């Protein structure tokens, strides 16, 4: 049985992970098709319907400016998911490069790069992000980059550990004997075999990035109004929580369900890619 087939079968049999994957796909589809799915414009103001409770016309109610909360949440999913994927993409790229060089070369290269990783890990990540955003200024691109460049250390350690093991394998030695250059050996021969834990880390990373973006937007340092995000909808809900409970409930549930789904997918991938489980099924 092929490895990919067994991986999918094991993942599919994990019911919670499979449900999480379905939720993730639904959210991604909704974000991509936001102009077609959203019933109203996310920035359309209707003074006559300020803080209107959930109804047939506005299923999630309206905010303090009469804007449809459901539409703003649908468009806000674009922000949250794009931040998650772009930030994790940056983190994975940096982590793979640092981890690959450290694990392959070893010696002083490994020592210097790992000490740099240790130094980065000593900084409280969220407060570092707050400081950088406060200095540079809040914007969606700033958040993506800052989350990315402060979240690569775990990936670097995972890749390094895989490289330390894989570089001793026969196929790597054969590539060296055949005259393959170092970059080809690293990125063509070793890296594809070291990506399994990276995929798992990336899934968890997306969930963490969504939480961080929501927290920054909630504090007013993330996506700026009138652009919608789940975090700044929650900020509005905080001010009107006694009279407009829907402004806090629905975006809070969206963040909860999204982060939980990505975590479930990550755990499902981790179990499906566990080599000890392959041995028990072979």
pLDDT at 26: 93
Q: What is the C-alpha to C-alpha distance for residues 227 and 67, in angstroms, rounded to an integer?
A: 12
Angle between helices 140-149 and 69-105 (to 10 degrees): 30
92 occurs within a structural domain:
yes
45 occurs within a structural domain:
no
What the block records as the tokens of 131 is: 């400081």
Residue 25, preceding peptide bond in cis (omega within 30° of 0): no
49 occurs within a structural domain:
no
SS3 30: helix
SS3 227: coil
Per DSSP (E only), the strands in the chain are none
57 occurs within a structural domain:
no
- Whole-prediction pTM value? 0.85
Which residue from 208, 197, 104, 198 is spatially nearest to 150, judged by alpha carbons? 208
- From the CB of residue 37, how many other CB atoms can be counted at a distance below 10 Å? 15
pLDDT tens per residue, range 10-28: 777 888 888 999 999 999 9
51 occurs within a structural domain:
no
CATH classification of the domain holding 215? 1.10.3720.10
43 occurs within a structural domain:
no
Domain limits at 145?
Answer: 3-37+81-281
Which residue from 265, 279, 270, 275 is spatially nearest to 25, judged by alpha carbons? 265
210 occurs within a structural domain:
yes
66 occurs within a structural domain:
no
Which residue from 213, 174, 228, 191 is spatially nearest to 87, judged by alpha carbons? 213
DSSP per-residue codes, 163-213: HHHHTTSHHHHHHHHTT--HHHIIIIIIGGGG-HHHHHHHHHHHHHHHHHH
Residue with tokens 């077609």: 36
pLDDT at 1: 40
pLDDT at 217: 84
- From the CB of residue 2, how many other CB atoms can be counted at a distance below 10 Å? 7
Answer for the pair 22, 15: CB distance below 8 angstroms, yes or no. no
SS3 46: coil
Give the count of domains, the chain.
1
H helix and E strand count, the chain:
14, 0
pLDDT at 156: 92
pLDDT tens per residue, range 151-208: 899 999 999 998 988 888 888 888 888 887 888 888 888 888 888 888 888 888 898 8
| Weakly modelled stretches of the chain, pLDDT under 70 | 1-4, 6, 274-282
Q: What is the C-alpha to C-alpha distance for residues 136 and 142, in angstroms, rounded to an integer?
A: 8
């Amino acid at each position: 049985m092929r490895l990919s087939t067994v991986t999918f079968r094991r993942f599919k049999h994990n019911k919670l992970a499979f449900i999480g994957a379905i939720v993730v796909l639904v959210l991604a589809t909704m974000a991509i098709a936001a102009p077609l799915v959203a019933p109203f414009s996310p920035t359309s103001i209707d003074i006559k319907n300020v803080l209107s409770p959930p109804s047939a016309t506005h299923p999630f109610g309206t905010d303090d400016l009469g804007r449809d909360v459901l539409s703003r949440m649908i468009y806000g999913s674009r922000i949250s998911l794009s931040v998650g994927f772009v930030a994790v993409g940056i983190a994975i790229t940096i982590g793979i490069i640092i981890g690959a060089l450290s694990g392959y070369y070893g010696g002083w290269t490994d020592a210097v790069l790992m000490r740099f990783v240790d130094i980065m890990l000593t900084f409280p990540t969220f407060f570092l992000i707050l400081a950088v955003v406060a200095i540079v200024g809040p914007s969606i691109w700033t958040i993506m980059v800052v989350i990315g460049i402060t979240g690569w250390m775990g990936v670097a350690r995972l890749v390094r550990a895989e490289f330390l093991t894989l570089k001793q394998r026969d196929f790597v030695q054969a590539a060296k004997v055949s005259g393959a250059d170092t970059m080809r050996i690293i990125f063509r021969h070793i890296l594809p075999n070291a990506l399994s834990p990276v995929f798992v880390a990336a899934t968890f990373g997306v969930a963490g990035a969504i939480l961080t973006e929501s927290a920054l937007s909630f504090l007013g340092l993330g996506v700026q109004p009138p652009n919608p995000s789940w975090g700044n909808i929650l900020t509005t809900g905080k001010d009107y929580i006694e009279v407009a409970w829907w402004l806090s409930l629905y975006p809070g549930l969206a963040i909860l369900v999204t982060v939980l789904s990505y975590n479930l997918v990550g755990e499902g991938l981790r179990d499906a890619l566990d080599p000890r489980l392959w041995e028990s099924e072979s």
